[in-house]
């Protein structure tokens, strides 16, 4: 154990010589100066070891004993540290600077993580957080977490809860989205259900109001399918006119419809012809600093496609605030050419099919049969889609009157706001 302690604090191995060297040993014992590993070389000299911290005091005792000391070597951790300081002060200074830099920079945010969102984009939340000072590079201890969360929540009506938790260089943002409430049926507004398209009724179901047609009837766009004007009939053979009651008409009307959609494009168009010349521009973003390289590498003619790709560096599967952006510039010239009909027709057909599918999705319908007609006229290529569908054609529009009120005369006025 003593050997380990001596190695940690350091020691010096010395050779003492003189007429009466034993006097030096007596003085060391009188002044409680510990020494060990004593080895006599002859009658006038010996070697021994002493602690590094007692070296100067030993010189004073050697002068009193009229002995000469010669240092043979130094050992121990303290000696090694002293040599490193003398020989590698630059390395140690850099190490100390790195330690201080890490201690200081660890108080800045490097990553902002958002959890709990499903429909609200993360980019929207991060943008709002940046406005309140929560962003990579911000000084973490200076951010008031509760105040910043409340301020950010005011700018995000889609969220019902937002909390900011800062853990060193990482800010965790926990959000809860607002639950959408079901739309309540407005029964106080007088309405009719009218047809949004021509068709043949397959099924009509009335929840409130009076059905004006039956299954199998042909209806035109804008006709009243379910009226909000109810005729109050009295007893059979009665002569009393009970009048008409205005209600909020509701129901569903399924019908077969025929839809016609068109798309057209010019036959002569200007297309891009790439020259093959490409250049790349690089940029680096560190925290809030943007560094762009090779800014003067733009193509002289000014006609080029710009394709940017941004990658964020990760460390141990965690993103760090370092982004590398590579922008590729592809030069092109404009050249007028005739559109390839075999290429254009399928593209227009796909566009028409997508429009029809979106229309059926909005009207809770389905497509039964489709057909395409193509024609060329006045330098344009036109594709027409003819489709047979089954869909919900009823839509609710306001009418005159007041719900719950009985009128003595029929109220046939319809205020079609659609």
Look at residue 239 in the predicted model and tell me its pLDDT. Answer: 58
What six digits make up the tokens of 244? 């008409």
> Comparing 90 with 307, which gets the higher pLDDT?
307
Most confidently modeled range among 31-35, 120-124, 387-391 = 387-391
Inter-residue contact 50 to 34 (CB < 8 Å): yes
The model's confidence at residue 231, banded by pLDDT at 50, 70 and 90, is: confident
Which of these, 4, 6, 28, 5, lies nearest to 16 by C-alpha position?
Answer: 28
The model's confidence at residue 241, banded by pLDDT at 50, 70 and 90, is: low
Give the largest CA-CA distance in the chain: 155
Quote the percentage of the chain above a pLDDT of 90.
Answer: 30
Report phi then psi at 157, rounded to 5: -65, -15
Inter-residue contact 264 to 380 (CB < 8 Å): yes
Inform me whether the pLDDT recorded for 117 exceeds 60: yes
Average pLDDT value for residue range 108-132: 89
* Mean per-residue pLDDT of the chain: 82
> Comparing 338 with 206, which gets the higher pLDDT?
206
Quote the percentage of the chain above a pLDDT of 70.
Answer: 82
Report phi then psi at 361, rounded to 5: -65, -40
Q: Which residues contact 316 (CB under 8 A, 6 or more apart)?
A: none
Look at residue 412 in the predicted model and tell me its pLDDT. Answer: 46
Would you put residue 137 in left (φ > 0), alpha (ψ -120 to 50) or beta?
Answer: left
Q: Which residues contact 218 (CB under 8 A, 6 or more apart)?
A: 198, 199, 200, 201
Inter-residue contact 113 to 171 (CB < 8 Å): yes
Look at residue 415 in the predicted model and tell me its pLDDT. Answer: 41
Report phi then psi at 87, rounded to 5: -95, -30
Look at residue 138 in the predicted model and tell me its pLDDT. Answer: 84
Lowest mean pLDDT among 157-171, 225-239, 275-289, 342-356: 225-239
- Tell me if residue 151 falls in helix, strand or coil: helix
Return the residue matching tokens 């962003």: 135
Inform me whether the pLDDT recorded for 100 exceeds 80: no
- Tell me if residue 99 falls in helix, strand or coil: helix
Look at residue 314 in the predicted model and tell me its pLDDT. Answer: 75
Look at residue 350 in the predicted model and tell me its pLDDT. Answer: 93
pLDDT digits (tens, 9 = 90+) for 312-364: 777 767 667 778 888 888 888 888 777 788 888 999 999 999 999 999 999 99
Q: Is 0.85 topped by the overall pTM? A: no
The model's confidence at residue 411, banded by pLDDT at 50, 70 and 90, is: very low
Cα 73 from Cα 56, distance rounded (Å): 15
pLDDT digits (tens, 9 = 90+) for 363-375: 999 999 999 999 9
* Cβ atoms within 10 Å, residue 321: 20
The model's confidence at residue 395, banded by pLDDT at 50, 70 and 90, is: very high
Domains present along the chain, CATH in parentheses: 2-82 (3.30.70.2280), 111-177 (3.10.20.310), 188-267+339-418 (no CATH), 270-337 (no CATH)
> Comparing 27 with 181, which gets the higher pLDDT?
27
Q: Which residues contact 76 (CB under 8 A, 6 or more apart)?
A: 6, 7, 8, 9, 10, 11, 52
Inform me whether the pLDDT recorded for 88 exceeds 70: no
Looking at residue 181, the DSSP 8-state letter turns out to be P
Look at residue 359 in the predicted model and tell me its pLDDT. Answer: 93
Looking at residue 179, the DSSP 8-state letter turns out to be P
The model's confidence at residue 183, banded by pLDDT at 50, 70 and 90, is: low
Return the residue matching tokens 């002859």: 42
Cα 290 from Cα 325, distance rounded (Å): 10
């Amino acid at each position: 154990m003593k050997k380990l302690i001596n190695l940690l604090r350091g020691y010096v191995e010395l050779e003492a010589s003189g007429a009466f060297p034993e006097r030096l040993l007596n003085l060391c014992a009188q002044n409680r100066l510990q020494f060990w590993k004593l080895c006599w070389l002859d009658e006038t000299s010996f070697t021994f070891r002493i602690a590094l911290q007692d070296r100067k005091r030993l010189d004073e005792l050697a002068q009193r004993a009229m002995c000469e000391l010669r240092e043979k070597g130094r050992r121990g951790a303290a000696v090694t540290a002293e040599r490193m300081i003398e020989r590698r002060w630059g390395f140690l200074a850099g190490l100390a600077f790195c330690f201080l830099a890490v201690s200081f920079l660890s108080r800045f945010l490097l990553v902002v993580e958002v959890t709990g969102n499903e429909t609200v984009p993360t980019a929207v939340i991060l943008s709002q957080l940046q406005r309140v000072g929560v962003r990579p590079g911000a000084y973490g201890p200076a951010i008031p977490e509760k105040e910043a969360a409340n301020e950010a929540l005011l700018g995000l009506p889609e969220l019902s809860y937002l909390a900011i938790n800062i853990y060193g260089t990482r800010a965790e943002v926990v959000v809860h989205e607002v639950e959408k409430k079901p739309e309540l049926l407005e029964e106080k507004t007088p309405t009719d259900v009218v047809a949004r398209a021509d068709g043949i009724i397959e099924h009509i179901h009335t929840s409130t109001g009076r059905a004006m047609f039956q299954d199998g009837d042909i209806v035109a766009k804008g006709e009243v399918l379910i009226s909000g004007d109810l005729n109050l009939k009295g007893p059979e053979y009665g002569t009393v006119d009970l009048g008409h009651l205005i209600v909020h008409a509701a129901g569903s009307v399924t019908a077969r419809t025929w839809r016609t959609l068109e798309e057209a494009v010019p036959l002569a168009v200007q297309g891009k012809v790439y020259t093959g010349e490409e250049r790349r521009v690089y940029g680096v973003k560190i925290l809030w600093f943007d560094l762009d390289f090779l800014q003067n590498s733009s193509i002289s003619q000014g006609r080029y496609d710009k394709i940017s790709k941004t990658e964020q560096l990760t460390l141990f599967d965690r993103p760090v605030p370092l982004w590398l952006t590579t922008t590729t510039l592809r030069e092109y010239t404009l050249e007028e050419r005739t559109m390839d009909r075999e290429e254009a027709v399928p593209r227009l057909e796909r566009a028409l099919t997508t429009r029809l599918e979106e229309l059926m999705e909005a009207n809770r319908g389905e497509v039964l049969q489709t057909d395409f007609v193509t024609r060329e006229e006045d330098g344009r290529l036109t594709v027409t889609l003819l489709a047979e569908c089954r869909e919900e054609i009823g839509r609710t529009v306001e009418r005159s009157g007041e719900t719950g009120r009985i009128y003595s005369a029929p109220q046939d006025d319809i205020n079609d706001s659609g």
